[in-house]
Amino acid sequence: MNIYTKFTFCYMLIITYLSHMSQNSVSGYVPEYNNMDLILHFVEYTILGFFLFKSLSTDELFNINSIYGAIFIGIIFGIFDELHQNFVPGRQMSLTDILSDSSGTIFGVYISFRFFNE
């Protein structure tokens, strides 16, 4: 397991931890701008997509297509992350968040493939 894979797993744990925080805890860290939540989801999942692609393309542990695998894992993780929020007090699942997560994942995979592919 290479450094990208380890970092990706840790990053996914951080996303899960942040999703488990109640709305009152999160609101202190997120500025109250219009659509700031969607921007943060996009950036968060762009980073995830970047590292998922790097993990799948450099780690011999995985034997799947790096582009499709990273997009699939990122989108499924985003969906489950939003489902998880239904069970957190003050949080709810949002289709716009899922779309922002998915587009961020795809963008992160594209950036990683286009500019940082070895």
Per-residue pLDDT of the chain (118 residues; tens, 9 = 90+): 789 999 999 999 999 998 888 766 555 555 555 677 889 899 999 999 999 999 999 887 778 899 999 999 999 999 999 999 888 888 888 899 999 999 999 999 999 999 987 6
21 assigned to some structural domain = no
Residues 80, 19: contact at Cβ < 8 Å?
A: no
- The residue range of the domain holding 77 is 3-15+34-116
In a domain, 97, yes or no: yes
Integer Cα distance of 88 and 106 in angstroms? 27
Residue 49 lies in a domain: yes
Task: Answer yes or no: is 26 within a domain.
Answer: no
On whether residue 80 sits in a domain, the answer given is: yes
What is the distance in angstroms between the CA of the first residue and the CA of the last residue of the chain? 17
Number of domains comprising the chain: 1
Q: pTM of the entire structure?
A: 0.88
Is residue 56 a contact partner of residue 70, using CB atoms and an 8 Å limit?
Answer: yes
Residue 107 is assigned to a structural domain of this protein: yes
User: Do the Cβ atoms of 9 and 72 come closer than 8 Å?
Assistant: no
Does the residue 22 lie in any domain? no
